[in-house]
Amino acid sequence: MINQEIITVPTAGQRFTLAGTEYEISHSDHYSVRYTSVRGGLQILKELESFNSLTRNDSFKYTYDVNVFIPRSDKEQEQQKYRLDYVQTILSNTNHPYAEDFVKTIIAKIAEDRGEECNGQVLMK
């Protein structure tokens, strides 16, 4: 009889603690898992099977799962939509959405059209 153990592949962004230190999954595939210390940035690369054996350790605990829906307040949703409107307008109005000069010009134009003051911190509202 073949011994079949289910091997789970963690998702990038998942956080966990191991022996009191918090880590975040940076990358994972069917062969390896790279995780990074949240404080200090120490990176560790392990084979997937080795990482899965760590998860059975008593001092291992998942603390944050990127797949879990986190409800947001009405104010947070409103701020998120406000920022998303700017981003969508920027993406649809330039071929260079990462070039600061192009983006600043578009942000100033959007703010002007909306009657808002543009102080460079529009998306930080």
Q: Are residues 118 and 78 part of one domain?
A: yes
State which of 64, 82, 99 marks the end of a domain. Answer: 64
Average pLDDT estimate for 113-118: 81
Q: Are residues 78 and 55 part of one domain?
A: no
For residue 10, being part of any structural domain is answered with: no
The domain in which residue 25 lies consists of: 15-64
For residue 101, being part of any structural domain is answered with: yes
Q: Are residues 54 and 33 part of one domain?
A: yes
Q: What is the pLDDT of residues 76-100, one digit of tens each?
A: 888 888 888 888 888 887 777 677 7
Q: Give the list of residues 6+ apart from residue 103 with CB closer than 8 angstroms, or none.
A: 90, 94, 97
Question: Given pLDDT bands bounded at 50, 70 and 90, which one contains residue 4?
Answer: very low
Total domains, the chain: 2
Q: How far apart are CA 101 and CA 14, in angstroms?
A: 35
| Of 1 and 112, the one with more pLDDT | 112
For residue 113, being part of any structural domain is answered with: yes
pTM of the predicted model over 0.85:
no
